[in-house]
Amino acid sequence: MKQIALYGKGGIGKSTTSSNLSAALSERGLDILQIGCDPKRDSTRMLMHGRFIPTVMDLVRTQGDTAITLSDVEFPGYNGVRCVEAGGPEPGVGCAGRGIIATFQLLEKFGALKGDVIVYDVLGDVVCGGFAMPMREGYAQEIYLVTSGELMSLYAANNICKAIKRLASRVKSNCRLAGVICNAKGQPKEEELVAEFARQVNSNLIEFIPRDRVVQLAELNRKTVIEYEPASAQAECYRSLAARVMENTRLTIPTPLEIDDLEHLAYSFI
């Protein structure tokens, strides 16, 4: 079983990319579990045709964890992709990481952490212990960074590299950087910049995903691009990403950049 995580800055396109990746993987006949680990709780929405499924955190809060069954938290989405949302604390109080921990413990109890691929969709603005949980505790072994060529999303990706480097040496964790996904904003020389960033952090660019209006159209129709426009070039990009993820064997310990070097890199691709 492959356990991969997509980390990146908020709003960069993790959930869009994760959902389309899961949909593309399911087309290959694989059993896929997607777990949203972002308090925004919308990771699996397009796989669920627009539905916000109940989050594990909300259910634990309202029912207590002993009363919950697997069918309360895991929902079949597009093409059989199994969907779970960890959820988060009530705004302003509590720790988001706790929701992630509670979710994994519950899923483990149900024997639900199974299948061909588990896709974790994790917020990466803050790499506090909670959000690092999927890699720290050995769940997510292959980490993909989702970034555009914008400095702030590269900055977040670089910070995640620091977390992976720190955790890579821990026996329990064993996580590695598996690659960088460029979810483009459409800036000039963006692919070259992100490919060079990937090289400098000791990894490689796994896929370049262009910015395309079809993503918004699919979203407005409450579907992944794979389902909404299966013959589109954008859908092909997600299928190509799925192929590359399945055949990828290059797992590395990243070499994060100093902030000055990161800024210099971004500057040299203006």
User: Contact between 211 and ligand ADP (CB under 6 A)?
Assistant: yes
Q: What is the spatial distance between Cα 225 and Cα 19, in angstroms, rounded to a whole number?
A: 9
Dihedral of alpha carbons 121, 64, 75, 107, sign: positive
Query: For residues 18 and 262, what is the distance between their CA atoms, to the nearest angstrom?
Result: 26
Residue 83 and residue 74 in contact, taking contact as beta carbons nearer than 8 Å: yes
CB nearer to ligand ADP: give 197 or 208.
208
Identify residues 164-203 at the interface with ligand ADP (CB under 6 A).
183
* Segment interacting with ligand ADP (CB under 6 A) among 12-20, 24-32, 88-96, 193-201: 12-20
Cα 132–chain centre separation: 12
165 in active site: no
Of the residues 3, 5, 13, 177, which one makes contact with ligand ADP according to CB under 6 A = 13
Q: Is 14 a catalytic residue?
A: yes
> Judged by CB, which is closer to Mg ion: 38, or 227?
38
> Using the rule CB under 6 A, is 10 a contact of ligand ADP?
yes
Q: Give catalytic status of residue 125 as yes or no.
A: yes
Select the residue interacting with ligand ADP from 27, 72, 219, 236 (CB under 6 A).
Answer: 219
Report the residue closest to Mg ion, judged by CB. Answer: 15
Instruction: Report the partner that residue 16 touches, choosing among Mg ion, ligand ADP, none (CB closer than 5 to 8 A by kind).
Output: ligand ADP
Whole-number Å distance between alpha carbons of 33 and 47: 11
16 scored as a contact of ligand ADP (CB under 6 A): yes
Task: Single out the segment in contact with ligand ADP by CB under 6 A; choices: 5-13, 64-72, 103-111, 257-265.
Answer: 5-13
216 near ligand ADP, judged by CB under 6 A: yes
Complex with ligand ADP: residue 58 or 219, whichever CB lies closer:
219
- Does residue 172 have an active-site annotation? no
Output 13 or 179, the one with its CB closest to Mg ion. 13
Residues labelled as active-site residues? 9, 14, 40, 125
Residues at the interface with ligand ADP (CB under 6 A): 8, 10-16, 183, 209, 211-212, 215-216, 219
